[in-house]
Structure formats: C-alpha cells, structure tokens
Chains A and B, each alone.
Chain A
Amino acid sequence: EVQLLESGGDLVQPGGSLRLSCAASGFTFSNYGVSWVRQAPGTGLEWVSSIGTSGYSTYYSDSVKGRFTISRDNSKNTLYLQMNRLRAEDTARYYCAKHVGAGLIVDAFDIWGQGTLVTVSS
C-alpha cells in the first residue's frame, strides 16, 4: 500500500525550531517529487514547499522562504522539513504529499499523509 506518515509535530515557542519527517512506503520514493502542504485550523490549504527527485531542486512559498528547508533522504525513503524562527502564523497541520507524475517537481498530489500538528505558542 502506498503510504506517507508524518511525524515531528509539537508545541513550540515563537522563535523556536522543529523538524518534521515524512516516511514513505509502497512506492519508489526516489522517482517522485514530494511536497509539504499545511492547513491552519478551520482554514484552507496552503502550499509550503516542494522538492525534486534528487533533492537539488526546491521551491518555497514566500511565507516560509529563508526560515524553512525541505530535504529528502532517498536511502531512507524520508522527506524532511526543517522549520526555524517559527511564528504563531505557522500553526497548522502539515501534510506531506506525493506528486502524481514521476520526476515532476511541481504537480498535482495523489497521495497525502494524515498530517502532523505544529502549534507555535508561548
């Protein structure tokens, strides 16, 4: 079964850091781009970042650029999101999502994890 499983969400103080992980299984992880998408409580979906198959190509939303870093370890079938200088407005459930087409750095998302909750509050 194709699956994504996020972890690492927590309560953190403003200005703090957190690293999210997303473990992939059931498909050849290294063949697909993957992304992070977040959803603040009671609101809609917001794209955060995407990464290509090798990890060299990355994109970020303006709201996280310079604070968040996306990376992947294809040997561990795992996607990461390093989140620094966290703000209250980063509070959200963070989903990792697999791209539909092999090799595409931007694409629709066909597989989503259940998400991990990040709360930024003092």
Chain B
Amino acid sequence: DIVMTQSPASLAVSLGERATINCKSSRSVLNTSRNKNYLSWYQQKPGQPPKLLIYWASTRESGVPDRFSGSGSGTDFTLTISSLQAEDVAVYYCHQYYDTPLTFGGGTKVEIK
C-alpha cells in the first residue's frame, strides 16, 4: 500500500499569512508515461463532506480560489494557501489515486492564530 504522511498535523496561521501543508508518499505517484502525479487535495469543514481543491498535484478545481495551489512531484507534495482567510479553517487531506488501495493522508488541521 502507498502510505501518505502529512505534516504538520495541525497548523495555526495569522489571517493573511501563508499556510503550507506537506504530504509525502511512501512511493512515487508519478506516472512517467503520462507525466502526471496522481495526487489530489481536499478541504473538509466540520459537518461537511470533503471538497476537492487540487488534482493531478497542481490543477486547481473549478471555482477554487487562486490562493490555493499545489506543487511537487514523485513522492513530495505541498498545498499552499497564499493568504489565509477565516473561511479556510478546516482539515486538509492529500490523496493518492496512483494505485489501489487508494489512500489518504492523516489530515492537517488549519486554524487561525
């Protein structure tokens, strides 16, 4: 199984400041023939289902604010919120869909400092 490890587990950031969440996979999720990383990011607010933010590691889902960006390749990935807003308080998950079993990271809780 591909193990997804997120860090930190929680993060407190001031409004307007940058938040950075890391995700490391136990093996590469890069499909070299397609040059695509099978990695997505989700935001989950309390009492709500997850919401897709980023797929193919860096493609922003339609309607997602451009302060959210994804980067990385192979085994190391980052979700960046460039200027944290109050509505960004949530738990964020990375997810690999390179191989079954599909796996998620343990989550990173983002709060306001």
Contact = CB atoms under 8 A, between A and B. Distances in A.
Contact of A114 (B49, B61, B103): B49
A50 B106 CA distance: 21
Interface of A: 35, 37, 44-47, 50, 59, 61-62, 95, 100, 106-110, 112-115
B104 A47 contact: yes
20 contacts: A37-B50, A44-B104, A45-B42, A45-B50, A47-B102, A50-B100, A50-B102, A59-B100, A61-B101, A100-B52, A106-B99, A108-B52, A108-B55, A108-B95, A109-B52, A109-B95, A110-B52, A112-B49, A112-B50, A114-B49
A47 B106 contact: no
A46 B95 CA distance: 10
Most buried by B among A45, A46, A61: A45
Nearest to B48: A114
Contacts, number: 54
Contacts of B51: 112
Contact of B101 (A62, A95, A112): A62
DSSP majority for the A interface? strand
B107 A108 contact: no
Nearest to A115: B49
B35 to A, nearest CB: 16
A44 B93 contact: yes
A113 B61 contact: no
Interface of B: 40, 42, 44, 49-52, 55-56, 61, 93, 95, 97, 99-107
A61 B104 CA distance: 13
A115 B104 CA distance: 18
Contacts of A59: 100-101
A95 B95 contact: no
B107 A44 contact: yes
B97 A45 contact: no
Nearest to B98: A106
B43 to A, nearest CB: 11
A122 B90 CA distance: 33
Contacts of B40: 108-109
Nearest to B95: A108
